Amino acid sequence: MEFDQSGCDVAGIAYPVYCFGLPNIVTNFVQKVQFATGTYLFGLASYRGLLISSGRRLKKLLQARGYTMHESA
């Protein structure tokens, strides 16, 4: 499958902050990607000054899919 990352023990989702949130392409990816149970997931944002709630948004999207994001920076 195109978004199958089930072979990973650790996976990071790196993204630019857009409008205090996530770019659509990142949201679409998170809604499709498959991780193995227990994969250590982290988020890594690049931004220009206003990070606000993008990490929380990513965490919630992953939670809705049954995944836990362990760290966000």
Ligand X SMILES: Cc1cc2nc3c(=O)[nH]c(=O)nc-3n(C[C@H](O)[C@H](O)[C@H](O)COP(=O)(O)O)c2cc1C
Residues that bind ligand X (CB under 6 A): 16-20, 46-50
Q: How far is the CB of 22 from ligand X (least distance, A)?
A: 10
Q: How far is the CB of 20 from ligand X (least distance, A)?
A: 4
Q: For residues 6 and 53, which CB has a smaller minimum distance to ligand X in the complex? A: 53
DSSP character string of the chain: -TTB-TT-SEEEEEEE-BTTB--HHHHHHHHH-B--TT-EEEEEEE-SS--TTHHHHHHHHHHHTT--EEEE-
Q: How far is the CB of 45 from ligand X (least distance, A)?
A: 7
